[in-house]
């Protein structure tokens, strides 16, 4: 199963991605966590310390130049759009048990639609990962889905849009939906997060009815404290129960053969 997680900043994308990864890691199922948000913090949320965190792929200038054939100072010239990337995940992941983590980093695009060697490299890498790895992939993304260009997006089984019970995160979700369609992402699901009470759950159920709402994660003092204290958000059984249910529904419904 290959899942991309998106939504407005602060809704709980990274928290949910980490919780889902944790479900697989606990049982020893192979899972690759990809931090594709330029504002990267999945490593810390998964409990890796700063010195354990992997190097962002986009910062590996020499490697990108070597593979794309681009020359420094000659950006804008010719470079390979399909550089060799098959050895990258193995080399630039950090591993802990059955969990691997990779960080994509930031690509500074000069303008809309511009393709530079870095982004060509990351696109090739995304395509390689999503097509070739026989494993669970959880990609923590930004709302803009920058790394999922046309072509790469079609290889993700589904996108999960995380929504908090407020109008702002709902509005962002409503912008993501047509973007997914445009990119050709087959399936879209919602996950509600940080519901304080029944009213919050009702708000999410009422407003998220164009695609399946897989579940609603309750607001949790433990999860909030974990963020403040810089440890993983894995200590609340109610939250873990809900994530388990969400995972089960995801695996059932994200199956692209259906």
Q: How far is the CB of 60 from ligand ADP (least distance, A)?
A: 24
Near ligand ADP by CB under 6 A: residue from 3, 4, 15, 187: 15
Residue 163 near ligand ADP by CB under 6 A: no
Residue 13 near ligand ADP by CB under 6 A: yes
Near ligand ADP by CB under 6 A: residue from 43, 60, 130, 217: 217
Check if the beta carbon of residue 145 is closer than 8 Å to that of residue 106: no
Residue 14 near Mg ion by CB under 5 A: yes
**Number of residues near ligand ADP (by CB under 6 A):** 17
CA–CA separation, 251 and 55 (whole Å) = 30
Block residue for tokens 């019970």: 165
CA–CA separation, 103 and 78 (whole Å) = 26
Residue placing its CB nearer to ligand ADP in the complex, 22 or 220:
220
Check if the beta carbon of residue 229 is closer than 8 Å to that of residue 255: no
Three-state secondary structure call for residue 120: helix
Q: In what order do the strands lie in the sheet with 187-195?
A: 94-96, 99-103, 31-35, 136-140, 2-6, 158-163, 187-195, 213-218
Nearest alpha-carbon partner for 188 in 20, 6, 57, 1: 6
Residue placing its CB nearer to ligand ADP in the complex, 79 or 234:
234
Q: How far is the CB of 96 from ligand ADP (least distance, A)?
A: 19
Residue nearest to ligand ADP (CB): 227
Q: How far is the CB of 9 from ligand ADP (least distance, A)?
A: 5
Residue 15 interaction partner, one of Mg ion, ligand ADP, none, beta carbon < 5-8 Å per kind: ligand ADP
Q: How far is the CB of 233 from ligand ADP (least distance, A)?
A: 6
Residue 246 near ligand ADP by CB under 6 A: no
Residue 12 near ligand ADP by CB under 6 A: yes
Q: How far is the CB of 99 from ligand ADP (least distance, A)?
A: 17
Near ligand ADP by CB under 6 A: residue from 56, 219, 244, 249: 219
Q: How far is the CB of 169 from ligand ADP (least distance, A)?
A: 9
Near ligand ADP by CB under 6 A: residue from 25, 194, 200, 242: 194
For 11, residues 6+ apart whose C-beta sits below 8 A from its C-beta are 162, 163, 164, 169, 172, 193, 194
Element counts in the chain: helices (H) and strands (E)? 9, 8
Nearest alpha-carbon partner for 123 in 94, 151, 103: 151
CA–CA separation, 114 and 116 (whole Å) = 6
Q: Which residues bind ligand ADP (CB under 6 A)?
A: 7, 9-15, 193-194, 217, 219-220, 223-224, 227, 233
Instruction: Summarize as ranges the residues that interact with Mg ion (CB under 5 A).
Output: 13-14
């Amino acid at each position: 199963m290959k899942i991309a997680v998106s939504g407005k900043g602060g809704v709980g994308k990274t928290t949910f991605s980490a919780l889902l990864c944790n479900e697989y890691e606990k049982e020893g199922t192979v899972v690759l966590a990809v931090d594709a948000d330029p504002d990267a913090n999945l490593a810390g949320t998964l409990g890796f310390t700063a010195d354990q965190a992997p190097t962002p792929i986009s910062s590996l200038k020499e490697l990108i130049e070597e593979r794309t054939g681009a020359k420094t100072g000659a950006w804008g010239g010719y470079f390979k759009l399909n550089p060799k990337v098959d050895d990258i995940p193995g080399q630039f992941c950090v591993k802990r048990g059955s969990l691997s983590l990779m960080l994509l980093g930031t690509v500074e695009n000069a303008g809309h639609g511009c393709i530079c060697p870095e982004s060509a490299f990351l696109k090739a890498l995304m395509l390689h990962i999503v097509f070739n790895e026989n494993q669970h992939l959880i990609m923590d993304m930004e709302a803009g889905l920058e790394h999922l260009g046309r072509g790469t997006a079609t290889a993700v089984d589904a996108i999960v849009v995380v929504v908090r019970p407020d109008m702002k995160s709902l509005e962002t979700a409503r912008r993501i939906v047509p973007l997914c369609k445009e990119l050709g992402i087959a399936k879209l699901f919602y996950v509600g997060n940080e519901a304080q009470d029944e009213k919050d759950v009702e708000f999410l159920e009422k407003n998220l009815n164009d695609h399946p709402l897989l579940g609603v994660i309750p607001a949790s003092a433990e999860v909030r404290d974990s963020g403040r204290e810089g440890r993983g958000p894995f200590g609340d059984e109610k939250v873990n129960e809900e994530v388990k249910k969400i995972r089960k529904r995801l695996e059932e419904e994200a199956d692209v053969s259906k």
